[in-house]
């Protein structure tokens, strides 16, 4: 036998071995009696996601739709058994009652490769998460939100001025970039302690570059995320960060300046003050810095995507837009101005917000990892410690069994007389339980503030190139969050 043939044989044998190893755990869900699709060697049930042909949430949605009404659906992420938790009781148990078992996200990178992201509140584990989360929670009390409102409102007004300035001769402007800039400025002001002035600048300033699109992934980041979630050895081969280090370097410099400035000023009762108190309490500098960056990165792109989704839906649904404007005008006539209370009480505005984040949940799925063996509620099946479970939020929100006519924008489904029909665990735009989005009350205020300012000043309509349907909206296929990656033009007519 020639050397070449021997070599070939070795390669083929090794390849067979890898393939066989990848199938080793494929009997897991059959043995436990959990419904599951048939897996493929190496890829499990996620071949389209691994080959970057679809986003992960779309891959999950395909699996979800094969087993309507099942409380649990097994699948394989690469070679690892993973579980979709779909039944309402099960979702509630995992996020609330048995939270002590499911405290941690699997999407928590190795701190050796991901110095910044691994210390984000989202990624912190166990007791460290608990203590840091508890110290940040007071930043979002009603009193604090009210104290921050004037800053938010001023930024929303600034957004309108900038729309005005940038309208082209047809009255159109790309709104994706402007919403991002709004999100960055709002969070920078209250959580980072600086005036980012992203709305004011034509060229993106360094701060904006460091923050924006941090979760808009390229192929490498998409693969790292999947490898991490699938507990694949590939993760340790890639050894690369999900959030690139240069972002942290830029932000760290600016943060040092902001900290020095603020330490000389009286307290402002904003999020940054609360974060500074972490530092005073002796939390390590890197953890403090990561919390500020985490608020900024996680808070800005998510809220700006919600503003974008609402403005676009209002352009498509003129009757909703008219009704919203009428509600806001009446309230302003009574109260004299757009106030915190006005936004808080505006019923239709809340319905529009709820419906937009139902269709476009920025975080389309949630992951948790079992910290011990766990009996799945309502079954005899036990999942082993280390099993990753996924709550497919996007799929819930678009499931016709959970929402009538689920792909249609219908704020009326959230009217007080209809809302009782909606199962609480079928609607999770901000997650659920102790690990729900810490900023959801702030987002509620800052998203509504932007929408109210714009709707009171402009009639929003379609422009050339505005996507006319959900199918035409191009979402970033590689990110784990839902975000449109192209400019989205809308027409604005001054009222």
Ligand X SMILES: *[C@@H]1O[C@H](CO)[C@@H](O)[C@H](O)[C@H]1NC(C)=O
Q: How far is the CB of 261 from ligand X (least distance, A)?
A: 32
Measured from the CB atom, the residue of 241 and 429 that comes closer to ligand X is 429
Question: 3-class SS at 292?
Answer: helix
Q: What is the DSSP string of 375-420?
A: EPTTSS-EEPTT-EEEE-HHHHHT-TTTSSSTTS--GGGGSTTTGG
Q: How far is the CB of 452 from ligand X (least distance, A)?
A: 13
Q: Which stretch binds ligand X (CB under 6 A): 151-159, 252-260, 304-312, 350-358?
A: 350-358
Task: Give 339's DSSP letter.
Answer: -
Residue (of 345, 346, 326, 328) closest to 337 by Cα position: 328
CB within 8 Å of 383: residues ≥ 6 apart = 32, 83, 370, 373, 374, 376, 389
Q: Which stretch binds ligand X (CB under 6 A): 7-15, 57-65, 228-236, 349-357?
A: 349-357
Measured from the CB atom, the residue of 172 and 338 that comes closer to ligand X is 338
How many angstroms separate the CA atoms of 321 and 142, rounded?
A: 28
Measured from the CB atom, the residue of 279 and 354 that comes closer to ligand X is 354
Query: Contact 117/225 with Cβ under 8 angstroms?
Result: no
Measured from the CB atom, the residue of 388 and 481 that comes closer to ligand X is 481
Indicate whether 354 belongs to the interface with ligand X (CB under 6 A): yes
Query: Contact 35/67 with Cβ under 8 angstroms?
Result: yes
**Binding residue for ligand X, selected from 95, 291, 395, 444, defined by CB under 6 A:** 444
Q: How far is the CB of 335 from ligand X (least distance, A)?
A: 16
Measured from the CB atom, the residue of 58 and 350 that comes closer to ligand X is 350
Task: Dig out the tokens for 80 from the structure.
Answer: 């690892």
Q: Restricting to residues 276-315, which ones interact with ligand X according to CB under 6 A?
A: none
Beta bridge partners of 72: 85
Measured from the CB atom, the residue of 16 and 419 that comes closer to ligand X is 419
Q: How far is the CB of 353 from ligand X (least distance, A)?
A: 5
| Binding footprint of ligand X, residue count (CB under 6 A) | 5
Q: Restricting to residues 309-348, which ones interact with ligand X according to CB under 6 A?
A: 344
How many angstroms separate the CA atoms of 43 and 51, rounded?
A: 9
Indicate whether 353 belongs to the interface with ligand X (CB under 6 A): yes
Q: How far is the CB of 447 from ligand X (least distance, A)?
A: 9
Measured from the CB atom, the residue of 289 and 327 that comes closer to ligand X is 327
Measured from the CB atom, the residue of 290 and 445 that comes closer to ligand X is 445
Task: Dig out the tokens for 119 from the structure.
Answer: 């210390």
Q: CA angle 291-297-303, nearest 5°? A: 120
Binding residues: 437
Q: How far is the CB of 284 from ligand X (least distance, A)?
A: 33
How many angstroms separate the CA atoms of 225 and 353, rounded?
A: 29
Indicate whether 149 belongs to the interface with ligand X (CB under 6 A): no
Count of helix runs (H) and strand runs (E) in the chain: 19, 9
Residue (of 271, 26, 236) closest to 139 by Cα position: 271
Place of tokens 């400019």: 487
Q: How far is the CB of 314 from ligand X (least distance, A)?
A: 16
Q: How far is the CB of 440 from ligand X (least distance, A)?
A: 6
Q: Are strands 366-369 and 388-391 parallel, antiparallel or unpaired?
A: antiparallel
Q: Which residue is nearest to ligand X (CB)?
A: 444
How many angstroms separate the CA atoms of 441 and 448, rounded?
A: 11
Residue (of 183, 212, 214, 187) closest to 199 by Cα position: 183
Q: How far is the CB of 40 from ligand X (least distance, A)?
A: 39
Q: Burial-class residue 444 by CB neighbours within 10 Å (0-12, 13-18, 19+).
A: buried
**Binding residue for ligand X, selected from 350, 377, 431, 470, defined by CB under 6 A:** 350
Residue (of 129, 179, 150) closest to 438 by Cα position: 129
Indicate whether 146 belongs to the interface with ligand X (CB under 6 A): no
Indicate whether 67 belongs to the interface with ligand X (CB under 6 A): no
Binding residues for heme: 437
Measured from the CB atom, the residue of 147 and 250 that comes closer to ligand X is 147
Applying CB under 6 A, the residues found at the interface with ligand X are 344, 350, 353-354, 444
């Amino acid at each position: 036998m020639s050397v070449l043939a021997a070599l070939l044989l070795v390669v083929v044998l090794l390849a067979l071995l890898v393939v066989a190893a990848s199938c080793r755990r494929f009997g897991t869900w059959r043995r436990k009696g959990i419904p599951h699709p048939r897996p493929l060697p190496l890829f499990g049930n996620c071949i389209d996601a691994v080959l970057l042909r679809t986003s992960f949430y779309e891959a999950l949605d395909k699996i979800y739709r094969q087993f309507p009404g099942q409380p649990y659906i097994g699948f394989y992420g690469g070679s690892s058994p993973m579980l979709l938790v779909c039944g309402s009781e099960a979702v509630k148990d995992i996020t609330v009652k048995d939270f002590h078992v499911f405290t941690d996200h699997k999407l928590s990178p190795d701190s050796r490769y991901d110095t910044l992201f691994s210390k984000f509140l989202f990624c912190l584990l166990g007791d460290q998460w608990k203590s840091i989360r508890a110290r940040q929670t007071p930043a979002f009390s009603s009193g604090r939100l009210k104290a921050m409102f004037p800053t938010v409102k001023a930024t929303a007004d600034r957004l309108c001025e900038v729309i005005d300035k940038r309208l082209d001769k047809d009255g159109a402007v790309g709104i994706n970039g402007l919403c991002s800039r709004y999100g960055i400025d709002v969070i920078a002001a209250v959580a980072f302690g600086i005036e980012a002035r992203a709305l004011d600048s034509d060229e993106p300033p360094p701060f904006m570059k460091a923050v924006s699109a941090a979760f808009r992934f390229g192929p490498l980041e998409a693969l790292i995320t999947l490898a991490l979630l699938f507990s694949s050895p590939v993760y340790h081969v890639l050894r690369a960060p999900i959030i690139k280090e240069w972002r942290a370097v830029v932000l760290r410099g600016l943060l040092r300046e902001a900290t020095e400035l603020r330490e000389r000023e009286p307290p402002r009762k904003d999020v940054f003050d609360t974060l500074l108190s972490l530092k005073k309490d002796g939390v390590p500098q890197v953890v403090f810095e990561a919390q500020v960056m985490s608020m900024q990165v996680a808070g800005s792109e998510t809220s700006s995507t919600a503003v974008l989704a609402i403005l676009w839906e209002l352009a498509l649904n003129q009757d909703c837009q008219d009704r919203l404007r009428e509600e806001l005008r009446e309230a302003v006539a009574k109260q004299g101005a757009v106030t915190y209370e006005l936004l808080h009480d505006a019923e239709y505005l809340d319905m529009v917000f709820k419906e937009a984040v139902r269709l476009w949940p920025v975080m389309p799925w949630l992951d948790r990892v079992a910290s011990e063996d766990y009996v799945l509620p309502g079954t005899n099946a036990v999942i082993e410690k280390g099993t990753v479970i996924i709550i497919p939020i996007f799929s819930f929100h678009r499931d016709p069994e959970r929402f009538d006519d689920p792909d249609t924008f219908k704020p009326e489904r959230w009217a007080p007389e209809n809302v009782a029909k909606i199962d609480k665990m079928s609607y999770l735009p901000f997650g659920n339980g102790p690990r729900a989005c810490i900023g959801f009350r702030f987002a509620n205020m800052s998203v509504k503030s932007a929408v109210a300012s714009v709707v009171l000043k402009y009639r929003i309509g379609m422009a050339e190139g505005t996507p006319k349907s959900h199918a035409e909206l191009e979402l970033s296929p590689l990110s784990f969050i839902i975000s449109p990656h192209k400019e989205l033009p809308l027409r604005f007519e001054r009222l």
